Amino acid sequence: MADNFNARDALATAADSRRHLAHRLVTPIWYHPLVGVTLFMLCCAIGMPEGRLGRKTRLLMIMGATLINTLLLPWLYRMRTGVTMQQATGTRSRRFFLLGMIPFAAVFAPAGANYLLDGPTWVPLVLGAVALIGSIVFGRSYDNALRTDLREGVA
């Protein structure tokens, strides 16, 4: 059985490990802009009015963006950091993640409506730009929340 001194040492060791890990999980600078570009592609593919974008191009854009987001980016992150993360396991990061989903849904819904109503070309471009900038700003805030959760031992 450990004595009290050892218990404190062990707790300090655990906290130190979490701090080190949080330091390791700094997302590369290109990660969120790349996510933003894929969201821009999705917005355009979903929202461009008929005639402005061919069916095949639309499909390729959706498939490309989906593959980059679900396969390429997680693989690059795994290779770079040596870990795979569960999404938003801490209180702060989970709250951030859920709140972040609302504006993204709010961007894709009008893009889809623009396609159905055969609206102007600039609408998906503007919505895509909002998604791109939003993903950079939100992504960095989410990463900070995740690392704070890790350091505090709630992730």
Partner 1 sequence: MSAPHFDELVHQPHRLRICVILSAVEQASFQALCEELGVSMPTLSKQLRMLADAGYVTTDKRPSGTRPATWATLTKKGRAALQGHLAALRELADQAQ
**Can you tell me the distance from the alpha carbon of 98 to that of 103, in angstroms, rounded to the nearest whole number?**
10
Question: How many residues make contact with partner 1 (CB under 8 A)?
Answer: 28
Binding residue for partner 1 (CB under 8 A) from 4, 51, 55, 56? 4
C-alpha span between 16 and 73 (Å, rounded): 28
Residue among 107 and 155 whose Cβ is closer to partner 1: 155
Candidate list 39, 130, 145, 150; residue touching partner 1; CB under 8 A? 150
Sequence-distant (≥ 6) Cβ neighbours of residue 11 within 8 angstroms: none
Q: Which of 29, 79, 102, 105 binds partner 1 (CB under 8 A)?
A: 79
Q: Does 8 participate in binding partner 1 (rule CB under 8 A)?
A: yes
Question: Any contact of residue 72 with partner 1 (CB under 8 A)?
Answer: no
Least separation in angstroms between residue 10's CB and partner 1 is: 5
10 sits near partner 1 (criterion: CB under 8 A): yes
> Would you tell me the crossing angle of helices 122-152 and 91-116 to the nearest 10 degrees?
170
Window 109-148: residues binding partner 1 (CB under 8 A): none
